[in-house]
């Protein structure tokens, strides 16, 4: 535990030295949220009151609250892991008496904490800016399930990113793959538009994928477009995914490492 | 018991050949020819506790590969290695807490943080007690005289300063065995000497076992009594540095200085091959066994000899000769 905290603290400190980078990324994020809102406002002007069960106000809240959740949950671990493997820095971890998995996870938590806080702040400012359009939900039970869901989603995303990063064991040129996977993830998370705009079957499937829990499902839950029961089911799905991912990571890591070490040549 | 015990250690790398050009790339995309590079083949040696051994070889000889196997990064493809009784590739914590690997080309320091932060990270990772950490870090910081750079971001340090910090980070847990892969690469002569002096002192004081590779003969000459030389993955020499010179340098150098007017070149040419010449001093290369005789002949000749010195050939030249021969 002390190890974990020391690593988190060190990388927390590191990120503080990149204040400007962090700030400039936040500007992009704010811009993106605002563009989405403006776009949907324009769409609603042409289309009328309700699109697939979403009023304009709900849609705006979806975007605002969804992005707010998303900045809490996301991470950039895949690139970090990929680079460590490709550039051989992994070697320096393999000789130290601490597992790479726990080290890099703690590092990422520390690394993103400052930018996460800044994002939360900047997204909160955007929400405040669209105050009138924003729908509030103060239902404590909903909020409780929501917090749990976000927590699980945070870990799911970490594990997912770690797994994606491990691709670097087999493939040298990883940047293209990462950005493609990133787009697919974003699409299935509902970050571009609510997944309920998709054909019902697809939307249904997305409930059983891990991606929708970092945007779509929690935003829907917030909007009370899904009930508590479905929310609880979601938590079960997430837990299952976390276990599955841990298992997958174990397997892939083992095989990847064998390749890295060159076992059996 | 030997600290490092290596028996018939081998290591091959898998790689693919690709013909040049677009067509070659297309071909490789469909079918790749699998090839093996035998980076280390059948190498055996052992190193006693407290020894400081130089591990030499030209580029691509297999030095880094061997060190990686000894630190458990790579799995051997044949033979076995034991360090402190452990099998490295099993990566047992008990082993990892007792050795360290420093590579001149790869860092463990986090580039965006001050070195002190990495020291603290290592304290936790290696589970060093507060007391030990304090004592050991103070001692190392003192020895290297780096107190005033500890809170500067590592990437803003010079190469030499960084290497000192790397060494401190690697030694905090007081390893019994230290693997050094080109620790002085890219450093200026002063920084090189600093590192050398430190290693020498540290090895004597702590009786730590060190295996070091370097392309700088100064490092080897000053640090290592014993050297192991490999080339193309095979061991070709293992023994005292002095013996290396005796075995591989069939010549000695006789350095003569002359008084007065000096001499003409043809008058000394009869004694052996002239390596350097000026009217007042010259260096003559002669067969090892004839060195004494030639010196006597020189002294008893009418030449105005002022001083005479029989010297070994330079280590650099000897090693270069070995590399190019094998
Ligand atoms: N990952 C790899 N894949 C394929 N071949 C490799 C790999 N790493 C090293 N080799 C080959 O193995 C041989 C030994 O390499 P190694 O790095 O051990 O040499 P070295 O003695 O450390 O050389 P240098 O003095 O240049 O550092 C070389 O021929 C090299 O091309
Ligand atoms: Mg090397």
- Chain A residue whose CA is closest to B124: A3
Intra-chain end-to-end CA distance of chain B, in Å: 32
pLDDT of residue B68: 95
CATH class for the domain made up of B2-246: alpha beta
Does residue A265 have a pLDDT over 60?
no
Q: Helices in B84-188 by DSSP H: which ranges?
A: 93-96, 115-125, 130-144, 159-171
Q: Does B125 touch chain A (CB under 8 A)?
A: yes
**A208-256 residue pLDDT tens:** 999 999 999 999 999 999 999 999 999 999 999 999 999 999 999 999 9
pLDDT of residue B79: 94
Which residues on chain B are in Cβ contact (under 8 Å) with A94?
71-73, 91
Domain count, chain A: 1
pLDDT of residue A101: 94
Q: Does A46 touch chain B (CB under 8 A)?
A: no
Q: CB of B195 within 8 A of CB of B212?
A: no
Task: Record the tokens describing residue B29, joined without a space.
Answer: 């995309």
Residue nearest to atom 26 of ligand 1 (CA): B59
Which numbered atom of ligand 1 lies nearest the CA of B58? 25
Instruction: State the count of interchain CB pairs (< 8 A) between A and B.
Output: 80
pLDDT of residue B170: 96
Same fold: B2-246 with B250-325: no
Fold held by B250-325: Alpha-Beta Plaits (3.30.70)
pLDDT of residue B63: 95
Residue nearest to atom 27 of ligand 1 (CA): B59
Section A122-133 average pLDDT? 88
pTM: 0.86
Sequence ranges of the domains in chain B: 2-246, 250-325
pLDDT of residue A263: 67
How does DSSP assign chain A, residue by residue? -HHHHHHHHHHHHHHHTTHHHHHHHHHHHHHHHHHHHHHHHHHHHHH-SEETTEEHHHHHHHHHHHHHHHHHH---HHHHHHHHHHTTTHHHHHTSSS-HHHHHHHHHHHHHHHHHHHHHHHHHHHHHHTGGGPPP---HHHHHHHHHHHHHHHHHHHHHHHHHHGGGGT-S--HHHHHHHHHHHHHHHTSSS-GGGS-HHHHHHHTTSSGGGGTHHHHHHHTTSS-HHHHHHHHHHHHHHHHHHHHHHHHHHHHHHHHHHTTT-
Task: Report mean pLDDT in 10-residue bins for chain B, 326 residues.
Answer: 94 82 74 86 96 94 95 94 96 96 91 93 95 95 93 93 96 96 93 94 94 92 93 93 84 89 86 89 90 90 89 81 78
What is the residue range of A82's domain?
2-262
What does pLDDT average to over chain A? 90
Q: How far apart are CA A264 and CA A92, in angstroms?
A: 22
Rounded to the nearest angstrom, the gap between the alpha carbon of residue B271 and the centroid of all alpha carbons in its chain is: 37
H/E element, B288? none
Q: Does B124 touch chain A (CB under 8 A)?
A: yes
pLDDT of residue A4: 86
Dihedral over Cα of A207, A209, A210, A215: its sign: negative
Q: How far apart are CA B242 and CA A120, in angstroms?
A: 68
- Chain B residue whose CA is closest to A3: B124
Task: Record the tokens describing residue A136, joined without a space.
Answer: 């509030």
Q: How far apart are CA A58 and CA A225, in angstroms?
A: 10
């Amino acid at each position: 535990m002390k190890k974990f905290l020391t690593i988190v603290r060190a990388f927390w400190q590191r990120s503080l030295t990149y204040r400007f980078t962090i700030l400039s990324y936040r500007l992009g994020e704010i811009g993106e949220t605002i563009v989405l809102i403006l776009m949907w406002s324009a769409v609603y002007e042409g289309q009328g009151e309700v699109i697939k069960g979403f009023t304009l106000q709900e849609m705006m809240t979806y975007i605002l609250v969804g992005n707010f959740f998303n900045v809490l949950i996301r991470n950039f671990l895949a690139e970090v892991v990929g680079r460590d493997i490709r550039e051989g820095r992994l070697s320096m971890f393999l000789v130290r008496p601490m597992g790479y998995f726990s080290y890099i996870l703690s590092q990422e938590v520390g690394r993103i904490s400052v930018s996460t806080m800044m994002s939360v702040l900047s997204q909160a400012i955007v929400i405040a800016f669209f105050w009138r359009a924003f729908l509030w939900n103060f239902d404590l039970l909903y909020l409780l399930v929501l917090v749990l869901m976000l927590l699980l989603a945070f870990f799911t995303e970490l594990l997912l990113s770690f797994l994606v990063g491990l691709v670097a064991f087999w493939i040298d040129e990883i940047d293209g793959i990462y950005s493609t996977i990133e787009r697919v993830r974003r699409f299935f998370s509902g970050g571009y538009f609510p997944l309920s705009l998709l054909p019902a079957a697809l939307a249904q499937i997305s409930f059983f994928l891990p991606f929708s829990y970092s945007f779509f499902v929690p935003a829907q839950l917030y909007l009370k477009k899904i009930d508590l029961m479905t929310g609880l089911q979601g938590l079960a799905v997430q837990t299952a995914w976390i276990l599955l991912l841990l298992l997958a990571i174990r397997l892939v890591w083992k095989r990847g490492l064998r390749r890295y070490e060159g076992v059996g040549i | 018991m030997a600290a490092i015990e290596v028996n018939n250690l081998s290591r091959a790398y898998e790689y693919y050949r690709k013909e040049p050009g677009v067509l070659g790339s297309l071909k490789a995309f469909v079918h790749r020819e699998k090839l093996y590079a035998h980076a280390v083949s059948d190498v055996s040696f052992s190193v006693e506790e407290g020894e400081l051994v130089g591990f030499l070889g030209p580029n691509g000889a297999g030095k880094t590969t061997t060190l990686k196997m000894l630190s458990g990064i790579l799995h051997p493809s044949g033979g076995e290695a034991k360090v402190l009784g452990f099998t490295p590739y099993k990566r047992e914590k008990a082993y990892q807490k007792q050795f360290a690997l420093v590579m001149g080309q790869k860092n463990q320091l986090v580039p965006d943080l001050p070195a002190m932060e990495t020291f603290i990270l290592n304290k936790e990772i290696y589970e060093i007690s507060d007391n030990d950490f304090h004592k050991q870090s103070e001692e190392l910081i003192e020895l290297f005289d780096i107190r005033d750079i500890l809170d500067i971001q590592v990437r803003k340090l010079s190469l030499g300063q960084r290497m000192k910090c790397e060494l401190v980070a690697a030694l905090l847990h007081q390893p019994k065995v230290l693997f050094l892969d080109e620790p002085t690469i890219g450093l200026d002569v002063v920084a090189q000497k600093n590192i050398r002096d430190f290693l020498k002192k540290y090895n004597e004081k702590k009786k730590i076992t060190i295996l070091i590779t370097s392309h700088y003969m100064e490092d080897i000459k000053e640090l290592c009594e014993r050297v192991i030389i490999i080339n193309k993955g095979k061991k070709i020499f293992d023994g005292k540095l002095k013996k290396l010179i005796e075995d591989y340098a069939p010549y000695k150098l006789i350095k003569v200085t002359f008084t007065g007017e000096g001499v003409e070149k043809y008058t000394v040419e009869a004694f052996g091959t002239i390596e350097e010449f000026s009217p007042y001093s010259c260096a003559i290369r002669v067969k090892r066994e004839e060195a004494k005789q030639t010196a006597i002949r020189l002294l008893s000749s009418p030449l105005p000899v002022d001083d005479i010195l029989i010297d070994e050939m330079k280590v650099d030249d000897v090693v270069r000769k070995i590399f190019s021969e094998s």
